[in-house]
């Protein structure tokens, strides 16, 4: 976080946000990261630190079910989950708050892509999250705060990348 403005309701951070609302929280599941126990974490932007929430038994099972069985994502060392806190934007933007939220989430996701690439890692934004499982994993109520989006981050195996290229062959064949 860079700065708090006004009566401590607006924060200036490294990612833009409409009206400095920053309606998102960052949670993540960590596996195979040196110095961190496998489990769930929460990023605290005002302190620029993380808090350990809970260990997870059978991490791969929980991750698979939370990400609609997209098994490729389980190879990531860290899976980021972004929650939305509607009040942060609704009090200011009313019925248009969802527009601000979607644009802001795009800014956040793009920054994760840029940061990952800059250090030789890969990422992929995932909108197909099972909200109820994700909310339970991070102990969110599902109404005042809920998971909207996920991004696994990790090393990209060149062999996997070669396989993914063949996934898009249908585009070339169809001339799309």
CATH of the domain at 115: 3.40.109.10
Q: How many domains does the chain have?
A: 1
Residues 120-150: tens digit of each pLDDT: 999 999 988 999 999 999 999 999 999 999 9
Beta carbons of 152 and 123 less than 8 angstroms apart: yes
- Tokens 């708090």 identify what position? 4
Are β-strands 49-54 and 24-30 bridged in parallel, bridged antiparallel, or unpaired?
unpaired
Distance (Å, rounded) from C-alpha 85 to C-alpha 90? Answer: 9
79 vs 161, higher pLDDT: 79
What pLDDT was estimated at residue 57? 80
What range defines the domain where residue 69 resides? 3-174
E runs forming strands in 45-107: 49-54, 78-84
Q: What is the mean pLDDT of residues 9-30?
A: 70
Buried b / exposed e across 134-166, counting CB within 10 Å, b at 16+? Answer: bbebbebeeeebbbbbbbbbbebeeeeeeeeee
Which pLDDT does position 5 carry in this prediction?
56
Q: Convert 101-116 to b/e letters by CB count within 10 Å (16 or more is b).
A: beebbeebbeebeeeb
pLDDT of residue 8: 57
Q: What local confidence, expressed as pLDDT, does residue 19 receive?
A: 58
Q: Are 81 and 150 in contact (CB under 8 A)?
A: yes
Instruction: Say yes or no to pLDDT of 87 above 80.
Output: yes
Over residues 63-69, mean pLDDT = 88
- The pTM for the full model equals 0.82
pLDDT tier, 117 (very low <50, low <70, confident <90, very high otherwise)? very high
Q: What is the mean pLDDT of residues 107-123?
A: 92
Structure confidence at residue 24 (pLDDT): 86
């Amino acid at each position: 976080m860079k700065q708090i403005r006004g009566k401590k309701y607006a924060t200036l951070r490294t990612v833009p946000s409409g009206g400095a609302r920053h309606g998102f929280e960052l949670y993540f599941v960590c596996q195979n990261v040196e110095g961190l126990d496998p489990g769930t974490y929460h990023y605290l932007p005002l302190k620029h630190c993380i808090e350990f929430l809970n260990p997870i038994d059978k991490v791969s099972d929980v991750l698979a079910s939370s990400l609609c069985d997209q098994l490729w994502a389980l190879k990531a060392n860290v899976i980021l989950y972004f929650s939305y806190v509607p009040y942060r934007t609704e009090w200011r933007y009313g019925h248009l708050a969802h527009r601000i939220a979607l644009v802001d989430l795009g800014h956040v996701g793009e920054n994760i892509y840029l940061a990952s690439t800059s250090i030789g890692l890969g990422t992929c934004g995932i909108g197909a999250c099972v909200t109820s499982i994700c909310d339970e994993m991070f102990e969110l109520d599902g109404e005042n705060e809920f998971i909207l989006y996920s991004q696994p981050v990790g090393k990209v195996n060149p062999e996997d990348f070669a396989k993914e290229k063949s996934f898009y062959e249908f585009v070339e064949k169809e001339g799309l």
